[in-house]
Amino acid sequence: MVCRRCLVSGYVQGVFFRASTRERAQALGVAGYVRNLSDGRVEVLACGPVHSVELLCGWLREGPPGARVSEVQCEACTEVTPPGFQIL
């Protein structure tokens, strides 16, 4: 089990990025959350099996069809994992 906190930059708000991230995380069995930040970025906490978290982090570089991701910064973290995957 690993946890990663990712910050996603680009045109990522108002394009169903959070809902799409939750769907992808749930399909991969990843717990955590996704939320919009006031500076226009999206923050993602992803916790679960290494392979599943890596797949989600890779997907964040593309995002849903309307998004234009310019940068994704991920780092390991030791966060208390919320149950399931939530949109905050």
Q: Please identify which of the residues 5, 22, 24, 36 carries the catalytic annotation.
A: 36
Q: Please identify which of the residues 4, 18, 24, 41 carries the catalytic annotation.
A: 18
Q: 59-84: buried (b, 16+ CB within 10 Å) or exposed (e) per residue?
A: bbeebbeebebeebebeeeeeebeee
**Residue pair 82/33 in contact by the 8 Å Cβ criterion:** yes
61 belongs to the catalytic site? no
36 belongs to the catalytic site? yes
Mind telling me the catalytic residues?
A: 18, 36
